[in-house]
Amino acid sequence: MKPVFEKVPKRQWESFHCEVVHGPDYGTRWHFHPEYQLTLAIESRGHRVVGDNIGTLSDGDIVLLGSNLPHVWHQDRGPKARQVSAIIVRFDETFLGRDFFTLPEVEPVKRLLQRAARGLEVRGNTRTAVTDHMKRLAQSEGLARVIELLAILNTLANSTELKPLASASYEPKLESADQGRMERVVDFIHTHLTEEIDRERLAKLAHLSLGAFSRFFHSRTGKTVPEYVNEVRIGRACRMLAEDAGNITDIAMDCGYRNLANFNRRFREVMGTTPSAYRQKFRGVAGQ
């Protein structure tokens, strides 16, 4: 899926953009933009795609994205779906002037932004600290907003609790053409995630031959269609297992697997363990 270019709606009176999201979803498709992005998912259930990485999206998730890194935050749909509550901050390297990142005191932050080229998941105590700063930033105006953003960058730059997401070899083809084609393909996959995903139908939606579509999809995502769909499904299963949401057979069915043996096999391929062992790990953490 080729990401589409997005123009960040920064207003004339602000040096960077902060968006507070409340609604059924994040309102975006898989896209990219030159600005760096920091996303705090205060309340969210689904999955996120960062380059060629697919991860579970849950409450408190924080990710820092580098410039022009394709991404999408996808909220689960359905009758039991929850509303999204999130804070998204986007900024570029010139938001405090063209020479700001050349200052020696800012060198750690400059290295942080270089590392963000793969996307960085924020964990542990760092996540708690950054959450507090982002909530204050969203409620601040003027210089106070800038101070909070600098505090966030300083905290991240000095943290050892950042996990790279996209693989080091990921190099997407970034073109803004064919937006409608990609929107049709992406929407179909996410809407029919619990069903059999027919590659021939995806190819028809993209108006490409099956072979051309397969090459096109892999060149943009670093994955085949079955790999992509399987990782999204397993990510959804991980969240349901961690939440103890039903028995494993029902979870398998809810994630698009027709039999338990296939689910167990695919789960082990992605996670390196069984669904029951994965669930038990979270029960142990919760003291259940």
For residue range 167-215, what is the model confidence (pLDDT) as tens digits? 887 877 666 665 567 767 877 887 788 888 999 999 999 889 999 999 8
286 pLDDT higher than 50: no
Higher pLDDT, 52 or 7: 52
The per-residue pLDDT for 104 is 94
The per-residue pLDDT for 151 is 97
pLDDT tens column, 16-57: 999 999 998 888 777 888 899 999 999 998 888 898 888 888
The per-residue pLDDT for 11 is 57
The per-residue pLDDT for 287 is 45
288 pLDDT higher than 50: no
d(C-alpha 124, C-alpha 248), whole Å: 29
pLDDT tens column, 218-249: 877 788 888 888 988 888 888 888 877 788 99
Higher pLDDT, 27 or 59: 59
pLDDT tens column, 110-136: 999 999 999 999 999 999 999 999 999
78 pLDDT higher than 80: no
The per-residue pLDDT for 89 is 97
d(C-alpha 50, C-alpha 70), whole Å: 6
- Range of weakest confidence among 86-90, 209-213, 232-236, 253-257: 232-236
